[in-house]
């Protein structure tokens, strides 16, 4: 506010200074004209001097002086020109009427915290309000530009890197492809001789790749185009998920927790999945022929399962920063969101949005960028895989 007042008053001051300069220039010009007139009339003054000498012989001094004064006055010699700045009365009133810059007003609003209730006598936690499932409305950003020589892609997994670059995992040719955040193909990273079934982000530029019946999961450095480690397991590797510290690799009957610090292994019997996600010490799993979503503790204890008619042949699974679970529902061309407690769901994208046979899905929790693989057809009717990018 102070700066605004200063700027406004400075503007007024500059305006009056400009006006003063203009009027001063006019006065100075008039004075120059008067000087020029005086020079031209110098001879007339000499004549008047002679007239004065002559007139004093025939007239009184008063009469003579009066005539000379009248002539000089007619030339404007005795006129005074003054410049005066008159301060606006409104500006002067500021000193009298304005007593302060304003007033301090204190308002009180209701808290945005809600009470998380627990058992009797249990301490209560204050937690910030979480968004509701109805608030989730993704906005379309762009579609991947697939080169003509790559239209035979069969995308079974996808990852959004922290730097927003996009990684596609091609099942048919067991290869990893890198795309820019604008959806433009950059390069092929690595390829495998084994079957590539699933993949996930581990940390920064490192991804994990589940290699199916080879009973292996590979760690790949995308930036260096290098397989940096291969982990051998006791079961088929159908799905993989990671939180950066641990990696969970699942088969249909059991899973293995890999400690990424010391590479120790822990078997979880009875925890099977075709696709999984790991977040906040919880494992989220889909089994497509059951049309169910499961949630387990990291210890293998089942917390909940969710089944709904709008979930059909669920494939890829991922979570956003608020714990909502996103599923690629391939059977009905939809993207479904399930609440963190597994009690509610909502279809947020459908075939009307261009979702056709979705399979892989991933969300960057920091940026809210959601990536999913779909089927599209070209002008010749040839069907191939691409991917859509949304902001949530």
For residue 164, give the CATH number of its domain: 2.120.10.30
Of 65, 97, 129, the residue that ends a domain is 97
Q: How many CB atoms lie within 10 A of CB 304?
A: 13
Q: What is the pLDDT of residue 360?
A: 98
Q: What is the pLDDT of residue 150?
A: 87
Residues 143 and 87 in one domain: no
Residues 217 and 355 in one domain: yes
Residues 50 and 168 in one domain: no
Contacts of 83 by beta carbon, 8 Å cutoff, 6+ apart: 20, 23, 24, 27
Q: In this structure, is residue 114 part of a structural domain?
A: no
DSSP code, position 145:
B
Q: In this structure, is residue 290 part of a structural domain?
A: yes
Residues 82 and 191 in one domain: no
Residues 329 and 384 in one domain: yes
Residues 153 and 287 in one domain: yes
Residues 186 and 277 in one domain: yes
Residues 234 and 333 in one domain: yes
Q: In this structure, is residue 154 part of a structural domain?
A: yes
Residues 77 and 178 in one domain: no
- What's the CA gap between 277 and 301, in Å, rounded? 16
Q: What is the pLDDT of residue 295?
A: 98
107 — phi, psi (to 5°)? -120, 150
Q: What is the pLDDT of residue 126?
A: 47
Q: What is the pLDDT of residue 120?
A: 43
253 — phi, psi (to 5°)? -110, -30
* Closest CA relative to residue 262, chosen from 249, 245, 248: 245
* Closest CA relative to residue 147, chosen from 174, 178, 173: 178
Of 97, 120, 148, the residue that ends a domain is 97
- Report the phi/psi class of residue 121: left, alpha or beta, with left for phi > 0 and alpha for psi in -120 to 50: left
Torsion angle of the four alpha carbons 230, 235, 238, 241, in this order, in degrees rounded to the nearest 10:
-60
Q: In this structure, is residue 134 part of a structural domain?
A: no
Q: In this structure, is residue 121 part of a structural domain?
A: no
Q: In this structure, is residue 75 part of a structural domain?
A: yes
Q: What is the pLDDT of residue 248?
A: 98
Q: In this structure, is residue 133 part of a structural domain?
A: no
What domain range includes position 270? 139-391
Of 43, 77, 97, the residue that ends a domain is 97
H/E run at residue 159: strand 155-160
Q: What is the pLDDT of residue 203?
A: 94
Give 3-state DSSP helix, strand, coil % of the chain, rounded to 5: 25, 40, 40
Residues 30 and 162 in one domain: no
Q: What is the pLDDT of residue 112?
A: 47
Residues 383 and 276 in one domain: yes
Total domains in the fold of the chain: 2
Each residue's pLDDT tens digit, 215-267: 999 999 999 999 999 999 999 999 999 999 999 999 999 999 999 999 999 99
Residues 255 and 385 in one domain: yes
Q: What is the pLDDT of residue 33?
A: 72
Residues in the chain with pLDDT < 50?
A: 112, 115-127
Q: In this structure, is residue 110 part of a structural domain?
A: no
Q: How far, in Å, are 25, 45, 71, 133 from residue 30 at the CA level? A: 9, 21, 20, 81
């Amino acid at each position: 506010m102070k700066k605004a007042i200063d700027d406004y008053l400075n503007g007024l001051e500059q305006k009056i200074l400009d006006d003063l300069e203009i009027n001063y220039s006019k006065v100075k010009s008039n004075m120059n004209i008067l000087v020029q007139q005086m020079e031209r009339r110098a001879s007339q003054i000499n004549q008047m001097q002679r007239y004065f000498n002559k007139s004093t012989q025939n007239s009184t001094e008063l009469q003579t002086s009066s005539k000379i004064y009248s002539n000089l006055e007619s030339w404007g010699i005795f006129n005074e020109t003054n410049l005066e700045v008159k301060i606006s009365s409104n500006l002067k009133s500021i000193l009298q009427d304005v007593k302060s810059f304003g007033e301090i007003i204190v308002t009180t609003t209701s808290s945005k915290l809600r009470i998380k209730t627990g058992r009797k006598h249990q301490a209560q936690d204050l937690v910030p309000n979480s968004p509701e499932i109805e608030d989730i409305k993704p906005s379309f950003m762009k579609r991947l530009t697939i080169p003509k020589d790559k239209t035979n892609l069969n995308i079974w997994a996808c990852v959004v890197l922290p730097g927003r670059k996009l990684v596609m995992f091609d099942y048919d040719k067991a290869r990893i492809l890198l795309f820019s955040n604008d959806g433009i193909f950059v390069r092929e990273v690595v390829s495998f001789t084994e079957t590539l079934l699933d993949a996930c982000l581990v940390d920064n530029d490192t991804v994990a790749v589940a290699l199916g019946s080879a009973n292996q999961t590979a760690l790949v450095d995308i930036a260096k185009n290098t397989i940096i480690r291969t982990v051998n397991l006791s079961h088929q590797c159908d799905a993989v998920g990671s939180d950066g510290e641990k990696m969970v690799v699942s088969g249909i009957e059991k899973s293995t927790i890999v400690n990424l610090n010391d590479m120790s292994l822990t078997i979880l019997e009875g925890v099977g999945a075709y696709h999984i996600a790991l977040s906040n010490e919880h494992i989220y799993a889909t089994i497509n022929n059951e049309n169910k979503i499961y949630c387990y503790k990291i210890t293998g204890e089942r917390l909940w399962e969710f089944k709904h008619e709008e979930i059909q042949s669920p494939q890829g699974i991922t979570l956003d920063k608020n714990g909502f679970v996103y599923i690629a529902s391939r059977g009905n061309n939809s993207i479904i969101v399930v609440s963190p407690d597994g009690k509610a769901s909502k279809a947020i994208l459908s075939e009307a949005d261009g979702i056709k046979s979705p399979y892989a899905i991933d969300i960057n929790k920091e940026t809210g960028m959601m990536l999913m693989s779909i089927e599209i057809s070209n002008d010749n009717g040839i069907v191939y895989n691409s991917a859509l990018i949304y902001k949530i």
